Amino acid sequence: MIETRKLTKRYGDLIAVNEINLSLAAGDVFGFIGPNGSGKTTTMRMIATLLDPDYGEAYVCGKSIYGNSREVRRLIGYMPDAFGVYEDMTVMEYLEFFAAAFRIDGPARRKRCEECLELVDMSFKRDAYVNQLSRGQTQRIGLARTLLHEPEVLLLDEPASGLDPRARIEIRRLLRRLGELKKTVIVSSHILPELADVCTRVGMIEKGNLLVDGDVREVMRKARESITLQIRVKETEPGTSRTEAAAKLLEQADEARSVTIADDGTIDVSLKPGVEDYTAIPQSLLEAGFAPTLFREEEVNLETAFMELTKGVQQ
């Protein structure tokens, strides 16, 4: 649905976007993560046909961005990071104005505007003036506007900036829903954990270079040196520390590199680098008569992953 090949943009000596290759399918929600000035907006603007690349190609639903800008724009819902609002227009007038530009006419127009307002939870401001909305409300109306023509592809440039925690959760819900509707979504952010649980894929960009691109779990896996297991065992009799006994046993495991007990009684087992299969560990606990109440891989924070993966790539 979105494909880029060596997409490149230069500003004088500065390479804002450097040979970016992306391939996203329907239902993919791609988290585009990178610090300020890394090239996120530039990349999205090129895909949206709003900016000409210096080199490379981009296709939206199989249509090249060169020579098909009308069709490509029809397929895309682009939400810029900042957009102008029109004075003396109510929310409904504003949306109807854009719906008309997309040639949504007759009773369908009003209906579609109502649906989009509902989707962003702003129906109650239908008659308010757009220039009197709060920043977060303006952001939501911007998102409603982006969805009006039922685009297949959504390019959302930091849709969550300026939103309160509740609205952020709603945006995440909306992103998930767009994925379920088989839309292809690129959503940018520098707030990393924000995207971790809604994106099916994540890409990290720095200084115009796409450093990693892949499944969220895969990226996290790459970022960590080794797996850490978190284990808790049931304390049967007071005074006999089963936890300590279990930790001693775990230290003997071939897969384990180090074992520590946290304050809350969780045993952290850091595995040797490269070890992926640790099925023998729960087995040995059970065989030794321990009753595990918790057994899981420690989650890798996306922020830590990012810092890890982008370490030392300053040009």
Ligand X SMILES: Nc1ncnc2c1ncn2[C@@H]1O[C@H](COP(=O)(O)OP(=O)(O)OP(=O)(O)O)[C@@H](O)[C@H]1O
The answer to whether residue 40 forms part of the interface with ligand X (CB under 6 A) is yes
Q: Which of 31, 39, 53, 151 binds ligand X (CB under 6 A)?
A: 39
- Cα separation, 150 vs 146, whole angstroms: 8
Within 10 A of 34 (CB to CB), how many other CB atoms are there?
Answer: 24
Q: Give Cα separations from 183 to 29, 44, 79, 154, 159 (angstroms).
A: 8, 16, 15, 7, 16
Whole-number Å distance between alpha carbons of 23 and 62: 11
Cβ burial of 115 (10 Å; 0-12, 13-18, 19+) is middle
Least distance (Å) between residue 249 CB and ligand X: 49
Closer Cβ to ligand X, 35 or 273, answer by number: 35
CB of residue 161 to ligand X, shortest distance in Å: 9
- Residue 36 makes contact with ligand X by CB under 6 A: yes
C-alpha angle 255-261-264 in degrees, rounded to nearest 5: 135
Q: Is 190 in the site for ligand X (CB under 6 A)?
A: yes
Partner touching 190 among Mg ion, ligand X, none, CB below 5 to 8 Å by kind: ligand X
Q: Which residue among 2, 4, 34, 130 contacts ligand X (CB under 6 A)?
A: 34
Query: Is residue 18 near ligand X by the rule CB under 6 A?
Result: no
Report the C-alpha gap between 61 and 160 in whole angstroms. Answer: 26
Establish if 31 lies at the interface with ligand X (CB under 6 A). no
Give CA–CA dist 148/44, Å, rounded. Answer: 19
Phi, psi of 37 (to 5 degrees): 75, 15
CB atoms within 10 A of CB 264: 6
Rounded Cα distance between 81 and 159, Å, is 7
- How many residues line the site for Mg ion (CB under 5 A)? 2
Binding letters toward Mg ion, positions 25-64, x by CB under 5 A = ---------------xx-----------------------
Quick check: 54 binds ligand X (CB under 6 A)? no
Of 4, 42, 138, 209, which one interacts with ligand X (CB under 6 A)? Answer: 42
Q: Please report whether residue 168 would count as binding ligand X according to CB under 6 A.
A: no
189 binds Mg ion (CB under 5 A): no
Sites of contact with Mg ion (CB under 5 A): 40-41
Sites of contact with ligand X (CB under 6 A): 11, 14, 16, 34, 36-42, 81, 190
